[in-house]
Structure 1
């Protein structure tokens, strides 16, 4: 890659880092639904600080860290634990919702529009069901699905940078493959940030689009983007924490 490729990676890392705000906003909505109202700046700070712990082997310490930060801020253990359970449910269901998009990758001669239509139908149904539970649930669901969609599109761009298919019609399938790979990495015990697991799933799902070396380069670029994005989100969380403390002192 030339200089333009590295600039694109930096831009995609910034976009991915910003997309993590959607996770923090979704978590804030879940806490509000559970009776624990917190400010947006505090939610960003707590989420960003704890999120780096997902790179520690075990794949659970980001949740434990968020629990500890919330308890230190005076939030009860029960709503924090429930918010984590709800968040995991939203992320798992959200990842599954993207599965229709990969139909063209695993079913011979399946048209792209079939995956699109199936995805829209199941997504609309799931969001409608979430709003029945409560307004906060519905908004949180939108935030989590939007994060997964943005993450998938970022990887589709990384796939193009690696020399993979740049056909716009294949981008939804690539994004759906990434969402499924992200989900498998999330639920695999012991895999820090899904390392190794996510890449193996992508190699399997994208094997029909490009050669193995291209896919491997794409997953390396994608991993670099997510790590840099998480670091940027962590830095942004520090700024959000300072803003929260300043606002609290002025009251």
Structure 2
């Protein structure tokens, strides 16, 4: 009970800090959206915020399902979804790790081991990255590779993956004789075996749908601010959006990938759409995702309270 109170206190402090950083990010956008006001744009933005909030809750539901499969336990569903959506807001804090740390409260509330939540988070990360890469290959294919090579980004990606692989090998070599670490790894491996192939495929499909919906909403926002796209670019943009998500996700210290994804999409679209329209669209859609994250938490919070 004491640990639960401490975690609740830490969670509330992180929540306040997250809202402060969210407000700071929105102010720093420094875009006068009043010049863009139109009923069509407002409807698209509001619809996108609501849709994004639903996607956040969907991700929370997938996490809850994974956790239940891994632990073979009865999970407090509504509490888990609320805590997931709450900790999701911590990603806006510098460091880009607090949303994972915040999930520890899920273990406390469900009275399960912390390594179960860690194993679930690890599997979620692997499946998200795998799905985003597959989505970018399916929709962008050679287009994405050509783009990365022209921008000299592919070498940096290889370099980054190489460093991660070397770091992982060093950690394993250093700790391989440590019985505590070895037991911890075995427990996590045992947890991961409980997820079936069919469930994994369903999750990958759902993740792919979230990437596609995100990209489509971005294109709708771009169209509403005056950007015109050739129909032949629709599929490559879906792929490039997924690829930009991966690079933003793996970039150390970038809160919620802020700046990385926007930069990639901006550079990709420059020359295709007017630069000022691209910048406006990427900033406006970032605002959509921020408000969508907040709305997702509000919905999950009200949902749990109403059921209680």
SS at match of 1:34: helix
Distance across 2 between alignment mates of 1:157 and 1:70: 39
Please give the TM-score of this superposition, normalised by the length of structure 1: 0.80
Query: Please, which of 291, 294, 298 is the counterpart of residue 235 of structure 1?
Result: 298
Q: Unmatched 5+ residue regions in structure 1?
A: 109-131, 247-251
User: Which 5+ residue runs of structure 2 have no aligned equivalent?
Assistant: 1-35, 148-194
Q: How many residues align?
A: 222
**What is the DSSP-based 3-state SS (H/G/I as helix, E as strand, rest coil) of the residue aligned with 2:103?**
helix
Deviations 1:47-100 (A, max 9, x none): 111111011111111111012333233121121000010000011111111223
- Cα RMSD for the two superposed structures: 2.1
Query: Which structure: larger Rg?
Result: 2
**Superposition misfits of 4+ residues, deviation over 3 angstroms:** 103-108, 166-169
So what's the TM-score if we normalise by structure 2? 0.66
Q: Equivalent of 2:83, from 46, 51, 69?
A: 46
Q: Tell me by how many angstroms 1:243 deviates.
A: 4.1
Q: Does residue 189 in structure 1 map to residue 239 in structure 2?
A: no
Give the Cα separation in 1 of the matches to 2:145 and 2:127. 25
What is the aligned partner in structure 1 of residue 224 from structure 2?
161
User: Is residue 134 of structure 2 the alignment partner of residue 97 of structure 1?
Assistant: yes
1:150-195 per-residue CA deviation (whole Å, 9 max, x = no partner) reads 1111112122123222444422222222211122111111111111
2:209 & 2:62 partners in 1: Cα distance? 10
- Per-residue CA shift, 1:175-221, capped at 9, x if unaligned? 22221112211111111111111111112222342132221111011
**Residue number in structure 1 paired with 2:39:** 3
Task: Tell me the distance in 2 between the aligned counterparts of 1:37 and 1:138.
Answer: 22
1:99-118 to 2 correspondence within 5 Å?
99-100=136-137, 101-102=139-140, 103-104=142-143, 107=146
Residue 78 of structure 2 contacts residue 304 of structure 2 at CA under 8 Å; is this kept in 1? yes
| Correspondence for 1:117 | none
User: 1:118 maps to which residue?
Assistant: none
Name the residue aligned to 1:200: 263
Q: Is the 8 A contact 1:25 1:143 kept in 2?
A: no
